[in-house]
Amino acid sequence: MNNMTQETISNDEVNLLHYWRVIRKRKQLLIGVFLVITIGTAVVNLFLPKIYRGEFILKMAAKDFTDVFKTIKVNDTEVMQNIFPKTNQLINDIRLTTLLDTAVCKIDLLIDAKDTTDIPKIKAELLEYINNFPFHKNFVEQRKERMQKEIDEISKAIAYTDDLLKSGNDQKQNSPEYDPVRLYNGKINLANKKIVSEQSLKNYTGIETIMENIYSTPIKPTVKNNIILSALIGILSGVFMVFIAELKDKVRRPVQNKQEQ
């Protein structure tokens, strides 16, 4: 049993030595195949179009809008042309993912394009589509009406304060509740609140971008990974070609010997 094991090990060593000699004998072929594949891959990757990615987190005021986004298949050709009539040709890939584990409706938006300057344009067209979406549009209009009512109430409070400050009624002025400094400060606070509310009303869209990142490094092609992979393939292909060449030589030798005889 030991003799058989030793013989097997010896045969394996002989085979490995033979393979190594074959590779050494045809190392130029191996190196040539390796270089052709590796350099060729590197050159091709340099000429491939670069794809850049933009990532955004959108916060939607309408919580129920999550269910709407589940039904929108943005990668469908017809849907894409409908949502992005101006920029659909600029899109390499786009993904919308609703973040369910949050108290509000948040959407993770990934945009892949050939140019970083195209990504904001694509995002802007998506926001324009959402703003014109009936469900969202009605929600925003209702919210703006409530905001306008709040502004009207503030305006009434400011007018009432002005009346108190302008009043020359001695009974009011002598009253312990009448404090012109407190009234004036209250008017200033109301005026500031009104300015902020009016600005909020003007800019309110029901959508807020809470995270935005446009990557300057292309995500495709992955040149480094492709070159490493091509180098491995080049080595294996080179070894394969070496043994193919060796096999052809073995087949030719008997034929040549016969012809010489």
Q: Which of residues 72 and 232 earns the better pLDDT score?
A: 232
pLDDT at 237 over 80: yes
- Tens of pLDDT, residue by residue over 108-126, are 899 999 999 999 999 999 9
CA torsion through residues 110, 112, 117, 119, sign:
negative
Cβ(35)–Cβ(234) under 8 Å? yes
Looking at every residue in the chain, the average pLDDT score rounds to 81
Return d(Cα 64, Cα 72) in angstroms, integer: 14
